[in-house]
Structure 1
């Protein structure tokens, strides 16, 4: 064990040195807890929203979304992004529930700070990347959607927007989700350009982000964000790379 820790510490030092040599982004975040992304419909700061609609209600005590945003994102074709879930026929209701919950997490959660990255896009300046999604949440999402239909495996780009809403581009064919996403990881990681990374951890572990939770028992993602923010802090001020974060988490695991 001592030898393993020594080798890991040396590797951490090497990676930290490599990252330290890179110029820091002037907009790099130092606030990792209780923050909102700089994006199209997000509030500047999180706060209470007592009347959040339906599936977004778990975030009502502290949210980055407004009541209007929470209402709009429940529609089949929301004015938020003019995105049509039913681009290959009617999406199964249980599948759509998972997509609505995913959108609520994206718009409402103040617990994604450790994974926020700067982007240069017309509709947002920040996104989240490689959020460790609890394995059950990903599995259940895939199971609910495997028999619904789509025509693409990356929904961030490549649509035909000629009509004002997303339509399947020329040359694509509607198939089941299982055709385009053979495994749960394919769905959760590829769908939104690696916004999520499927975790090996389970719900309630304090080590993965939950899309679904009962707010009567508090928000479990607060603990998760705190854990990863502290890991990044221990790794040093230049530890913005996923590799360095992973190595530091391994070190924390070794030392208990």
Structure 2
């Protein structure tokens, strides 16, 4: 019979391999996501880069471009009309969230009634974050965290009583503040630039392929290598939990 340590080593390899596979080309378990990614011809405008392999449907891609769509009844214009240059970034943000199959390394469990999983600390490319802030800094909002704390009595989000509408440059003094705080750390500001292979692009030219595929593989491999280096003494309790 093989010694116990050999079985533990084998289990460790299997766990690492399973994690590696589960992080790539996957869709979140969330409100509007497909169960598995696939081709979606005709994805609308800002969502079109994902048409070759998408977690969103055609209907979702259209709704992502609408104010107060059926997706979440969220009103971009809660402090007056949002400018088109600013709204473009929020539409791209929605398309990335709904359509991308390359967010696996950052998918986490979510304790909410409307989704089972969420993304956390997705490393955004520096240019995307800074341009988002630059194009939205004069637009108005009354909240720093757009995930929670709204007044939903009318069925759509309204500013909480007593709050004030301010230019986003005052609510989010730096690009990092906007990207990290607005969706409860769904994104992480980085100094990595597009083409580095170390950051997720919020939008891309699909004629040149999807650069986020390589980024997801890099971070998936990094997690795998880290797990493989864990001492068995640390890995053993994890294996017990997984049984």
- TM-score tier by shorter-chain length is 0.7 to 0.9
Q: Which of the residues 44, 56, 60 maps onto 2:47?
A: 56
Query: TM-score, normalised on structure 1?
Result: 0.81
| Residue aligned with 1:231, SS | helix
1:29: how far off?
8.7
1:75: how far off?
0.5
Query: Structure 1 pair 55/228, CA: closer, same or farther in 2 (3 Å)?
Result: same
1:37: how far off?
0.2
1:238: how far off?
9.9
Query: Structure 1 pair 224/29, CA: closer, same or farther in 2 (3 Å)?
Result: closer
Q: Which of the residues 198, 202, 222 maps onto 1:207?
A: 198
d(CA) in 1 for partners of 2:93, 2:100: 10
| Residue aligned with 1:64, SS | coil
Q: State how many pairs are aligned.
A: 214
1:171: how far off?
1.4
Unaligned runs of 5+ in 1: 1-19, 240-256
Query: Structure 1 pair 151/237, CA: closer, same or farther in 2 (3 Å)?
Result: farther
Unaligned runs of 5+ in 2: 1-11, 231-243
Q: Match for residue 214 of structure 2?
A: 223
Matched-pair contact (CA < 8 Å) for 2:122–2:188: yes
Query: Structure 1 pair 147/89, CA: closer, same or farther in 2 (3 Å)?
Result: same
Query: For residues 82-117 of structure 1, what are the alpha-carbon distances to aligned partners after superposition, in whole Å with 9 as ceiling and x for unaligned?
Result: 000000000011000000000000000000000000
Consecutive aligned runs of 4 or more in structure 1 exceeding 4 Å deviation: none
1:30: how far off?
5.9
d(CA) in 1 for partners of 2:29, 2:228: 21
Q: Match for residue 170 of structure 2?
A: 179
Q: Which of the residues 64, 67, 89 maps onto 1:98?
A: 89
d(CA) in 1 for partners of 2:93, 2:119: 13
| Residue aligned with 2:108, SS | strand
Matched-pair contact (CA < 8 Å) for 2:55–2:100: yes
1:77: how far off?
1.2
Query: Structure 1 pair 122/38, CA: closer, same or farther in 2 (3 Å)?
Result: same
d(CA) in 2 for partners of 1:65, 1:192: 20
Query: TM-score, normalised on structure 2?
Result: 0.85
d(CA) in 1 for partners of 2:21, 2:47: 27
d(CA) in 1 for partners of 2:83, 2:214: 33
d(CA) in 1 for partners of 2:139, 2:174: 14
| Structure with max Cα Rg | 2
Q: Match for residue 233 of structure 1?
A: 224
**What is the correspondence of 1:1-20 to structure 2 with a 5 Å cutoff?**
none
Q: Match for residue 129 of structure 2?
A: 138
